[in-house]
Amino acid sequence: MATAWTRRSILGLAVAAAFGASLPAFGADTIKIGLVTALSGQSARAGEAITRGLTIAIDELNASGGVLGRKFELLRRDDEATPAKGVIAARELVFKEKVAVLFGGLDTPVSLAIVPIMNEAKVPFMGPWAAGTPITRNGANPNFVFRVSAVDEIVDKAMLQYAQKTFNAKKPGLILINNPWGESNEKGLRAAMDAKGVKAAGIEKFEGNDVDVVPQLTRLKQGGADSLFLVGNVGPSSQVVKSLDRMGWKVPIVSHWGPAGGRFTELAGPNAKEVHFVQTYSFFGKQGAVGEKVMKRLMATYSDIKGPGDVTPAVGVANAYDAMHLVALAIRNAGSTDGPKVREGFYKIATYDGLIKKYSKPFTPDNHDAINENDYVWTQFIDNQILPVGMKQ
């Protein structure tokens, strides 16, 4: 009798498992978090930084029991900085893996390609890096896209302000990557300059695979540029620096944060240090309680991290860490992983004492960007480390 009952029990458990019934077994029902980002190529270091920020946050959350009695699980996919591959990866994670929230990675063109999918699927999309203004301000209603990162429109105002204050810039030249990210910044920089009555020496574009930008830079020099506003990721930005070297033109360079994403000093050469670029966080200098805690956990988790200089780019770690904790709060507020409820949960976040700052009502129906112009740090490469401008090792 006991044997027959045991057989029936085993059979019943097998049938229940096959049809997805909830069983009190190990590994039951995690909350899946997806990440689509560049994990190979010139920007792989930035993709790894985002991964590490998410991992540290998820480990903290899981150690305290997770959310809604469930732990988090991270699923990553490499988009190779290509919109088509990003779309395929996003569709797999959303429709097959059923992630509760998808994190988008580095490149504005990739994120812009994913945005319509997320709004149609009604699954929250969180941006920890790509800064294109239209990513969050995409016109959808309801809008499921949120961000803990820089925003081009705000960065562009900060770039002009910094160039005027630091280099007394009066006639900047714009050298921009020829893609939607470059277009977003061209619009933002034009608006920022118009507001201050500043006239550009010229606006030049370059392709991501260009190895010689001398013609464009020559036109800017002839136009009287006394500084350059640079927008491009690691590889393209390094070609601008090397082209300037070939020209022998020493000109201040104020950049968006593209150079932080990978092997910039290796690719750009010794004058990589002349580029001043924006970040949202630095592990150098005096840290708050959260900064000290995160730094200790990074060192304990990753053998290659011995100090703040090894957390590079720090912005990827910091943005992803804070964003994951905000996602957890949104899910907790929702009491569910249902996409529309989680979306509403973001609006219910009152405060969060994060790594970058203490957030107060970080998201509202009119504002899906948690970082503003008061949260930026200006940095440069010194001996292959990203340091706040003026700080010595």
Beta-carbon contacts of residue 124 (< 8 Å; ≥ 6 apart): 100, 101, 102, 118, 144, 145, 146, 327, 330, 339, 342, 343, 346
Residues forming beta bridges with residue 146, ordered by sequence position: 126
Question: Could you state, in order of their start, the residue ranges of all structural domains in the chain?
Answer: 31-150+287-373, 153-279
* Confidence band of 145 (pLDDT split at 50, 70, 90): very high
Confidence of residue 106 (pLDDT cuts 50, 70, 90): confident
CA distance 145 to 298: 28
Q: What is the mean pLDDT of the chain?
A: 91
pLDDT tens sequence across 295-320 = 999 999 999 999 998 998 899 999 99
Of residues 23 and 97, more confidence is placed in: 97
Helix, strand, coil shares, percent, the chain, to 5:
50, 20, 35
Burial class from Cβ neighbours inside 10 Å (0-12, 13-18, 19+) for residue 293 reads middle
pLDDT band for 19, please (50, 70, 90 cuts).
Answer: very low
Percent of the chain scoring above 70 in pLDDT: 92
- In 3D, which of 293, 279, 285 has the Cα closest to residue 353? 293
Report the percentage of the chain scoring pLDDT > 90.
Answer: 79
Q: What is the pLDDT of residues 202-235, one digit of tens each?
A: 999 999 899 999 999 999 999 999 999 999 988 8
Q: What is the Cα–Cα distance from 159 to 149, expressed in whole angstroms?
A: 16
Q: Which of 16-20, 48-52, 116-120, 384-388 is least confident?
A: 16-20
The mean pLDDT of 260-278, rounded to a whole number, is 88
Tokens of 128: 């920890």
Give the pLDDT confidence score for residue 387 in this predicted structure.
Answer: 87
For residue 156, give the nearest of 193, 130, 199, 202 by alpha carbon: 193
Preceding peptide of 270 cis, ω within 30°: no
CATH code 1.10.1040.10 for 153-279: no
pLDDT at residue 15 tops 70: no
Tell me if 91 sits within 8 A of 116, measured CB to CB.
Answer: no
Whether the per-residue pLDDT at 269 is higher than 80: the answer is: yes
Per-residue pLDDT, averaged over 126-146, amounts to: 96
Using pLDDT thresholds of 50, 70 and 90, give the confidence band for residue 392.
Answer: low
Does 26 score more than 90 pLDDT? Answer: no
Q: What CATH topology corresponds to 31-150+287-373?
A: Rossmann fold (3.40.50)
Residue 79's pLDDT is 96
Residue 328: which residues within 8 A CB-CB, separation 6 or more? 57, 61, 67, 72
In this structure, are residues 37 and 129 in contact, taking their beta carbons and an 8 Å threshold? yes
Per CATH, 31-150+287-373 and 153-279 having the same topology is answered yes
Length of the chain: 393
Tokens of 127: 């941006």
Whether a cis peptide bond, with omega within 30° of 0, leads into 252 is no
